[in-house]
Amino acid sequence: MKEATSLVNFPACPGDAFGASVTPIYQTATFDQDSPERFGKYDYTRSGNPTRDVLESQIAMLEGMGDKGRCFAFASGLAAITAVLNTLGPGDEVLACDDLYGGTYRLLSQILERRGLRIRYADLTDLAQARDAITPQTKLIFVESVSNPLMRVCDLQSLAELAHAHGAKLCVDNTFLSPLLMKPLRLGADYVVHSATKYLCGHSDVTAGVVSVADSELAKQIYFIQNGEGAGLGPQDSYLLIRGLKTLDLRLERQQRNANLIAMHLWKQPSVTRVRFPGLPDLPNASVHARQATGTGAVVCFETSDPELSSRIVENLRLFAIRVSFGSVSSSASLPCRMSHASIPAEVRAARKFPEDLIRLSVGIEDISDLLADLDRALAISTAKTPQIHVNALHAEPVVNCCRNHHATT
């Protein structure tokens, strides 16, 4: 069966007595046992829950490793990443790409480093730098590919070989593409993590994260941590994710089509100085991306060379909501420097040449003509010398620059 088929045709209710068509929400913390000696399959939801099991099987299926694949669901993407990092101990070294989601950077630098983990950052999109940076203490290489939000691409197969040659593991955060568009375990990665809050859920109504592995020893370790730390995903959220997953293929098909048209359109605008999108030929490492992934994803980033102009553009968008996060059915826009990546200190961002004028668009499933019209309108108003007159000329309501809460701490 193809994935689009398996997403809607799967054992949704193993063992259900009534022939339910949809996975029931086993909203129970405990399961009664026949005797104190003989336990059934489930005893306590922290340790295992039938609704979460169905979700984990579906995602393991998507990761493409057949019977070897296992997946574990957590309360958030960061909880999933923490589970992988908690396989390490004091003195172990993580070699991380210098371009990471702000929350992952904060977890590494402000929580785990203080507990004795050593973190080394390097530009791992460049294999020569990766080879220089790895040490005998390196136990884990951690990368995002495609990275959020600079759209940088690492050669996963080569990084997996490098890690394994040094007795280390490779963990790939594949949130940007989803397992439909790339399968890092097949490229040699040991762990794949996703913030399921994004595409896997698709509706911005659950925070969740998953870790997938294809090795029974690693599966045992991650399960031990899931049960031992207690950050496994609850049954209600597991149900919502199973429901969201059913349309993953359908959603991504439309979202990618819209994103490609938007990237092309922005590319032609005089006020746009750079478009970062895996579908454009000038993406650095484009050939690596083409080899290891089967799609572009639906996040489009662009720059204007002017942080104030970028800020005005985002403020002037109407259909694109200003929000952190991405991957939902409805489109949104953000300024990563002030929002999702504000937890990376300004001097670190500057040292890593993180563009302060970068706008990140998460493209949804709306009609493309509405999205393009919204972008054109916002670009026109924002680049005009006297914005207010321009607004009236377009018969639009005046732009109200209210005090939006940009959630600088998320």
Number of H helices, E strands in the chain: 14, 12
Q: Answer yes or no whether residue 209 interacts with ligand PLP by CB under 6 A.
A: yes
> Do 304 and 361 form a contact (C-beta atoms < 8 A)?
no
Site for ligand PLP (CB under 6 A): which residue of 109, 125, 197, 334? Answer: 197
Shortest distance, position 150 Cβ to ligand PLP, whole Å: 11
Using a 10 angstrom Cβ sphere, with 0-12 exposed, 13-18 middle and 19 or more buried, the burial of residue 270 is: exposed
Dihedral (CA of 187, 213, 62, 149) sign: negative
Rule CB under 6 A: which of 99-128 touch ligand PLP? Answer: 101, 103-104
Neighbouring C-beta atoms of residue 348, cutoff 10 Å = 14
Shortest distance, position 401 Cβ to ligand PLP, whole Å: 27
CB closest to ligand PLP, residue no: 77
306 is catalytic: no
Q: Which is nearer to ligand PLP, 103 or 297 (CB)?
A: 103
Q: Answer yes or no whether residue 278 interacts with ligand PLP by CB under 6 A.
A: no
> Do 277 and 301 form a contact (C-beta atoms < 8 A)?
yes
Distance CA(28)–CA(31), nearest Å, equals 7
Marked catalytic residue, from 98, 99, 155, 173: 173
121 is catalytic: no
Shortest distance, position 374 Cβ to ligand PLP, whole Å: 23
Rule CB under 6 A: which of 222-241 touch ligand PLP? Answer: none
Marked catalytic residue, from 53, 99, 101, 223: 101
Neighbouring C-beta atoms of residue 38, cutoff 10 Å = 7
376 is catalytic: no
Q: Which is nearer to ligand PLP, 125 or 197 (CB)?
A: 197
46 is catalytic: yes
Marked catalytic residue, from 139, 198, 246, 251: 198
Rule CB under 6 A: which of 53-92 touch ligand PLP? Answer: 76-78
DSSP structure string for 167-190: T-EEEEE-TTT-TTTB-GGGGT-S
Helices (H), 40-189: 50-62, 77-85, 102-106, 127-133, 156-165
Q: Which is nearer to ligand PLP, 197 or 260 (CB)?
A: 197
Q: Answer yes or no whether residue 144 interacts with ligand PLP by CB under 6 A.
A: yes
Query: 295: which 2 tokens?
Result: 């799609």
Site for ligand PLP (CB under 6 A): which residue of 98, 173, 237, 303? Answer: 173
Q: Which is nearer to ligand PLP, 194 or 265 (CB)?
A: 194
Shortest distance, position 368 Cβ to ligand PLP, whole Å: 24
CA-wise closest residue to 169 among 112, 222, 116, 209: 222
For residue 319, the SS3 value is coil
Known catalytic residues are 46, 101, 173, 198
The residues of the shown chain that bind ligand PLP, judged by CB under 6 A, are: 76-78, 101, 103-104, 144, 148, 173, 175, 195, 197-198, 207, 209
